[in-house]
A and B are shown apart, each in its own frame.
Chain A
Amino acid sequence: MLPYIAVAAVLFSLGIFGVLTRRNTIGILMSLELMFNAVNINLVAFNKFVWTDALIGQMFAMFIIVVAAAEAVVGLAIVLLLYRNWQGINTDNINIMKW
């Protein structure tokens, strides 16, 4: 089971790193997808090796894939609007929520 978890952990860390460091909004969204997938791998792996009686983990992963798709839609719509208003999607420029 360890290889699965290791892959998930690396994947998750890469996702966090991407979210926190990418200046490109599209990149952030992509990193988010990586984190989702890391979680999915975890869920599936735990279901397979720890809770074998049912398919709860798999089902949950399916849900997450759907939700991630919806989230990607919303996120991309926001990115589109950002692009329209700021003529760019660089996060450094998007700081109207500042003090």
Chain B
Amino acid sequence: MTEHSYLIVLLPAFSFLMIVFFLRWKEKIASLFSIAMIVTSLIMSISVLFETIARNGEAYTASFTMAQLGSFKLQLGLLIDPLTAMMLVVVTAIGTCVEIYSIGYMKDDPRFSRFFAYLSLFLFSMLGLVVSDNFFMTFIFWELVGLTSYLLIGFWFEKKSAADACKKAFLTTRVGDLGFLVGLLLIMYYTGTFNYEEVFAKIGMDVFPPAMLTLAAIGVFCGAIGKSAQFPLHTWLPDAMEGPTPVSAIVHSATMVAAGVYLTARAMTVFVASADASFFVAVIGVVTSLLAATIALVQVDIKRILAYSTVSQLGYMIMALGLYGYDTANGHHSPGFYAGTFHLMTHAFFKSLLFMGAGSVIHAVHTNDIRDMGGLLKKMPITAPTFLIGSLSIAGFPLTSGFFSKDEIVAATFGHPVFTVLTLLIAFMTAFYMWRLCFLTFFGKPRDEHRYEHAHESPKTMAYPLIFLAFMAVFVGWTGIPALSHGFASFVFHAEPYHPHADWMNYIVSSIVGLSGIGLAWLMYYKRKIDPDKLAERFKPIYTLFWNKWYFDELYDIIIVKPILAIGRFFWSFDANVVDGAVNGTAKVTLLWADLKWWFDRWIVDGAVNGCGWIVRAFGSLLKYIQSGRMQFYGLFILFFIVAAGIYKFESAYLNGWIFTDFLEVTTLFVILIGFLSYFAKTIVPESTTKPKREE
């Protein structure tokens, strides 16, 4: 099956094309078709996973050359190793759940088929990103994922907030992608290849100057910062919650945002080679995690809390991977790689569960504001328990998935006390804000009677995926129980097999932290022993800071958006005044020139023509008198000229040109004579004519 794993990627693409070209108007068939395709992909992914386990994690590779440029080959290819196999199953399993869930959630949406087409395209891009065997192909699918994310966030583009959010997401992630591209080209420059395995082999051979290696690693990590919404590019992810909830569940919590973590894990060798870059990664991770957790403490929008929780958990994974790189670079053993990837998997399941549960709640009460909810436990017998299971898991309740993976992350921080303390603090805050959300939503008295009355359990297509994911949220983590000799750790481990050992101290501390977080939420929001409002009043500056998300949006508005707008306005005014001015000036000059030419035409050219006419008329008006219509006058003329000719003849013959010398003179004389005669004729011929009167 592994050799046919390209089909896993291509089936969703096929589904996308089928829906776009043939099933656009057949909504039911479109949704069922895309689900059939993703289920096939899921089954194949599971069999690929088992085959990979059977191969003891040996990597399977296959590739073909897309373009050959000299000695350099641009390839598309597959790299199926344990990490890939794990991600394939996660993506396809959650994809299946989300597509089934969407049948219920997107019911009656005017663009139902298009939603499934987009989802299929997204799954294609994500799976392509996962199986890719070189940086270049990863980059292609990385951008495709960004595109589909843009399409899905802006799916309800009639809403201005959604349209803005999708632009924001796209542009913000582009910033990170630029860094990714720089890192990618640096790697290409020094190693001469994009292929992961070849690059990793070359890095061992010292072809990189250390500073450049650090720069390349940070560059690649920039891509992860953008895609996984890490500080300082984390602001787009909460806004991305404007998209439909199934999209939030798959794209913005479980898979796409995990792409950054996945890339960091995939390129781990590069990070291991540079302790500085790894430390940078770890710091970014922990800062993001802490920042997002503090913001999540005070938010009231159910999806935004989950979004900040996602950012926080992604920061966790990034931090674990960064610490792994740092420790390994310094020659220490670390479970960070295993912890990061393990948490990636468990988080994908319980976070998509939480998002879908939140979607179900929103579907029931038609609001995102948790202050308007309450007491929904009775109304929603499936959604509420599954949501609570998910919350237990993320809070690290003993024996749930989150418990095992989070413990490993805590274990990865050992040796770095600051990180350990912060990690435990974040775990505490996570448990607190998740259970604050749960208590406000599902327990207590309903705060909005009207909404409560109309609340109802969601349809079965939405409920079944929740049950399945709740099951996974508890048990998927059990693959990482240290007691298993061939558990997740030894399977996915990056360099050499790793066998975690049960650290009871860690377990107890983590459990206490998680449970105390839940307990504090219980005290504040269920028992009301501590009044949250008074607390907020007491720590007002901090509360305001958290409430306004540390003013990051405002900060970016001042330092980036405003200057860019100002530059834009400057260029606009340049355009309006100088460029348009030049164009308009040209037009004005042309008009002026045309006026000039018109004048020339009117008075000089036409003047010449009319002048000819005028001269002819003038002569005609004089000479016409010769034509008097009287025969006797003509006779007189004839006589006159005969006499004149006789005189001329006589003169030239006998007086030798004494009077008339040349032809011109004679002609001039002749013309003057005719003029004179005409004038004479005018005076003697009466103007008025007598019309012939016909006899009756």
User: A residues within 8 Å of B by Cβ?
Assistant: 16, 19-22, 28, 84-87, 91-99
Given contacts A19-B635, A95-B685, A87 and B693 within 8 Å (CB-CB) = yes
Residues of A within 8 A of B690 (CB): 86, 93, 95
**With A and B bound together, what is the CA distance between A28 and B630 in angstroms?**
13
A99 B692 Cβ-Cβ under 8 A = no
A82: nearest residue on chain B (CB-CB)? B692
B632 A96 Cβ-Cβ under 8 A = no
A20 B635 Cβ-Cβ under 8 A = yes
**With A and B bound together, what is the CA distance between A99 and B681 in angstroms?**
12
A85 B692 Cβ-Cβ under 8 A = yes
Q: Choose among B636, B639, B693 the residue that contacts A86 (Cβ–Cβ < 8 A).
A: B693
Rounded to whole Å, the gap between the CB of A95 and the closest CB of chain B is 4
B661 at the interface (CB under 8 A from A): no
B695 A95 Cβ-Cβ under 8 A = no
Counting chain B residues whose Cβ lies within 8 A of the other chain, the interface size class is: 20 to 34
Residues of A within 8 A of B639 (CB): 16, 20
Q: Choose among A19, A84, A94, A98 the residue that contacts B695 (Cβ–Cβ < 8 A).
A: A84
A86, A87, A91, A99, most chain B CB atoms within 10 A: A99
A98: nearest residue on chain B (CB-CB)? B629
B56 at the interface (CB under 8 A from A): no
B628 at the interface (CB under 8 A from A): yes
From residue 648 to 696 of chain B, which have CB atoms closer than 8 A to chain A? Answer: 685-686, 689-695
B262 at the interface (CB under 8 A from A): no
**With A and B bound together, what is the CA distance between A87 and B696 in angstroms?**
12
**With A and B bound together, what is the CA distance between A97 and B636 in angstroms?**
17
The DSSP consensus for interface residues of chain A is: helix
Rounded to whole Å, the gap between the CB of B357 and the closest CB of chain A is 111
B693 A85 Cβ-Cβ under 8 A = yes
B632 A28 Cβ-Cβ under 8 A = yes
**With A and B bound together, what is the CA distance between A19 and B636 in angstroms?**
9
> Besides A92-B630, A95-B630, 13 other CB < 8 A contacts?
A16-B639, A20-B635, A20-B639, A28-B632, A85-B694, A85-B695, A86-B693, A92-B686, A94-B630, A96-B629, A97-B629, A98-B628, A99-B624
B633: nearest residue on chain A (CB-CB)? A20
Rounded to whole Å, the gap between the CB of A26 and the closest CB of chain B is 14
**With A and B bound together, what is the CA distance between A9 and B197 in angstroms?**
138
**With A and B bound together, what is the CA distance between A81 and B551 in angstroms?**
120
A95: nearest residue on chain B (CB-CB)? B629
**With A and B bound together, what is the CA distance between A19 and B637 in angstroms?**
13
B631 at the interface (CB under 8 A from A): yes
Residues of B within 8 A of A22 (CB): 632
**With A and B bound together, what is the CA distance between A13 and B468 in angstroms?**
144
B695 A96 Cβ-Cβ under 8 A = no
Residues of A within 8 A of B625 (CB): 99
Residues of B within 8 A of A87 (CB): 693
Given contacts A16-B639, A84-B695, A85-B695, A21 and B689 within 8 Å (CB-CB) = no
21 contacts across the A-B interface (CB closer than 8 A): A16-B635, A16-B639, A19-B632, A20-B635, A20-B636, A20-B639, A85-B693, A85-B695, A86-B692, A86-B693, A91-B630, A91-B632, A92-B686, A95-B689, A96-B689, A96-B692, A98-B628, A98-B629, A98-B685, A99-B624, A99-B629
B685 A20 Cβ-Cβ under 8 A = no
Encode contact with A along B26-61: 1 for CB under 8 Å, 0 otherwise.
Answer: 000000000000000000000000000000000000
Given contacts A86-B692, A87-B693, A98-B689, A20 and B624 within 8 Å (CB-CB) = no
**With A and B bound together, what is the CA distance between A19 and B239 in angstroms?**
119
Encode contact with A along B245-269: 1 for CB under 8 Å, 0 otherwise.
Answer: 0000000000000000000000000
Rounded to whole Å, the gap between the CB of A25 and the closest CB of chain B is 10
Residues of B within 8 A of A84 (CB): 695
Residues of B within 8 A of A20 (CB): 632, 635-636, 639
Rounded to whole Å, the gap between the CB of A58 and the closest CB of chain B is 27
**With A and B bound together, what is the CA distance between A16 and B642 in angstroms?**
13
B573 at the interface (CB under 8 A from A): no
B63 at the interface (CB under 8 A from A): no
Rounded to whole Å, the gap between the CB of B239 and the closest CB of chain A is 95
Given contacts A20-B636, A20-B639, A85-B693, A91 and B631 within 8 Å (CB-CB) = yes
A98 B692 Cβ-Cβ under 8 A = no
**With A and B bound together, what is the CA distance between A84 and B631 in angstroms?**
20
Residues of B within 8 A of A94 (CB): 629-630
B586 at the interface (CB under 8 A from A): no
Rounded to whole Å, the gap between the CB of A93 and the closest CB of chain B is 5
B627 at the interface (CB under 8 A from A): yes
Residues of A within 8 A of B627 (CB): 97-99
B621: nearest residue on chain A (CB-CB)? A99
Residues of B within 8 A of A97 (CB): 627, 629-630
Residues of A within 8 A of B693 (CB): 85-87
Rounded to whole Å, the gap between the CB of B617 and the closest CB of chain A is 13
Rounded to whole Å, the gap between the CB of B652 and the closest CB of chain A is 24
Encode contact with A along B609-643: 1 for CB under 8 Å, 0 otherwise.
Answer: 00000000000000011011111100110010000
**With A and B bound together, what is the CA distance between A95 and B632 in angstroms?**
11
**With A and B bound together, what is the CA distance between A21 and B689 in angstroms?**
20
Residues of B within 8 A of A95 (CB): 628-630, 685, 689-690
**With A and B bound together, what is the CA distance between A22 and B690 in angstroms?**
19
B632: nearest residue on chain A (CB-CB)? A20
B694: nearest residue on chain A (CB-CB)? A85
**With A and B bound together, what is the CA distance between A96 and B692 in angstroms?**
8
B625: nearest residue on chain A (CB-CB)? A99
**With A and B bound together, what is the CA distance between A91 and B635 in angstroms?**
13
Residues of A within 8 A of B691 (CB): 96
Residues of B within 8 A of A86 (CB): 690, 692-693
**Which 9 pairs from chain A and chain B are nearest by CB?**
A98-B629, A97-B629, A95-B629, A99-B624, A99-B627, A93-B690, A20-B636, A20-B632, A85-B692
Residues of A within 8 A of B635 (CB): 16, 19-20
Residues of A within 8 A of B695 (CB): 84-85
A87: nearest residue on chain B (CB-CB)? B693
Residues of A within 8 A of B636 (CB): 20
Rounded to whole Å, the gap between the CB of A52 and the closest CB of chain B is 29
**With A and B bound together, what is the CA distance between A98 and B639 in angstroms?**
20
Rounded to whole Å, the gap between the CB of A27 and the closest CB of chain B is 11
A16, A20, A28, A93, most chain B CB atoms within 10 A: A20
B635, B636, B690, most chain A CB atoms within 10 A: B690
Rounded to whole Å, the gap between the CB of A70 and the closest CB of chain B is 19
